[in-house]
Structure 1
Amino acid sequence: MYYPFLRGKQHELFALRDLNEAGILTEGIIPIIEPVKYSTQLVNTLNGLLNSNRHVIVIMNPSVGTFVDDLIENEEQLEEVLEIMNHSHTIIGYHLESDKALDELPQIVERCGGGLENVAIFHNDLRNLITYDQLFGELEAQFNFIPDETPFRRRFANNNGIVLKDSFEKRTPNAEYLNHEDEWFSAEHLYHEEEGFIGFADYSIVGEEYTESGFGAKAVAIHILYPDNQNHLRIRHFVSDSNENRADQAGKFGEALEKFIEWYNENSSPTINTQGLNELLACHHNGNFPGLGMLKRFSIKHHMELIGNILVRV
């Protein structure tokens, strides 16, 4: 199983919505959403997934954003979210950050329905394993998302563990990707089961670092995942060349897109022919600049559909 970790930002939510509505979000994918704020897009996306009989993990104590404050300040929004959380296919996600979880998590579970054994715990500090053991006793959480660290791997191998890795090497500024056009991404989809884990997780092509909003960059980069001849995942970066200033974002996109088209014509295959890539191809055919937010959406959609295609084959 694959668990893509997405912040509840507009284009990440729309990427999920598009894949779900197109019927190409495979059963081997359970999305994780860490809401950064309340929005109608968040509610509509979650309801769309649930109405399609899909499972989804929603983190109820996000580490970033204003989601909790939004719900505290608006009773109607709180009730709307609680109704979603009480759905049988919604899984409560929780960052285990301190011993306040001893009081807070049972309260969240009670309001959202279910039991502790149905919770997805996100671990980040070994010292909090004492709190985890106090909470769960002889039980285990339904999912334990852990960093790629040996002590965590030993503790949760064969105990509902899932390694959550930031496989995307973020480089600043974007022009730096010109020096790293093709990079390793991951092989967790091949080895997680034999290592005792029930799935694998990552932050897609966005990365773990959270930023509130984007802005025009001097260089435009398109990030595309693909499998190599051993079925390992690699990522290819297609970067504009006229990167002296932030002017002419459409022109920069066109430069990066031409590089993608050249690569695609040489590497096209049924596995990588996804809706996200077809939308990029349509931009080239129509001479259209969709905007940087849409470019992000295309890449996320491609990533999730590609993983789904690969899991069917593994």
Structure 2
Amino acid sequence: MIYTNEVPVLKAQERSAVTLGKFDGLHRGHQKLIACMKQKKKENCTTVVFTFDVSPLVKLYHKPAKTLLTNEERQELAENLGVDVLIACPFTDAVMNMEAEEFVKEFLVKRLHVSYLAVGPDFRFGHERKGNPELLKQMGTQYDFTVEVVEKLTDGTREISSTYVREELEEGHIEKVNALLGYQYFTRGEIVHGRQLGRTIGVPTANLIPPVSKKFPPNGVYLTRSKIGEKEYDGISNVGYKPTVKENFLGVETYLFNCNEDLYGQEAEVRFYHYLRPERKFASLLELKGQLDIDMAKGRQFFADLHEKL
């Protein structure tokens, strides 16, 4: 897959199938759009996901936003979904002020030679968000491309959206988050040296500091599965500031079941399966150890039941 921050100019005879949007999370609704677009591979179209390097809302309202996926994570998931080109277009002032018609002519027609376009019914683009699916259809007639307005997937009566996923994540409803995404919510980072207090109570842990842009569920203890190299480990993870030992940064500290390896310096992917309990401060390390024993027993049972179902 090609990942680029510039809108490329395709070869003269090359045509593309494109879908446009923010694509934070690449949830099941996004995957439906991509699946529609991928059908056009049979017509020798290059499949293109067109998004922006930052959310337009961040640029417009100058508010930093935590995202469900980092740009790197979105890139990898898009590649796994079979996308040919992922464009993370810089949301510059020039792009922000570009009229919708000019956006279509310059980017979609002139550069990408669009043949097919898949968008959701509420898709808006261009200066003052004046562009919509109806405008795209009108311009499709003029510039010889087809537009498919793809109905949104629903969960019960509610449409699946990044906003919906964020709301459930903020409540710690991990199973619901994973169902909406179509995969386990995860974070990545390098395993770093902590204070090694876990070793003193017989519970060695792997510590990682996640990307600052990544959105997290509430601080607390979660049942997780970690991928490190080619191996996977069930375990429990604490998300937060470890109040018992007074850390001053948000971290993810994971006790890996059945692992005694030296993992420092390796990258870990921690996938969330279930919220266990809130983060809390203990009076002593001994009291913390007692609670961790309870947490680990619940974790081992959870994953044993999960393995049985599989």
Bigger helix share? 1
The alignment's TM-score, normalised by the length of structure 2, stands at 0.33
**Which entry has the higher C-alpha Rg, 1 or 2?**
2
The alignment's TM-score, normalised by the length of structure 1, stands at 0.33
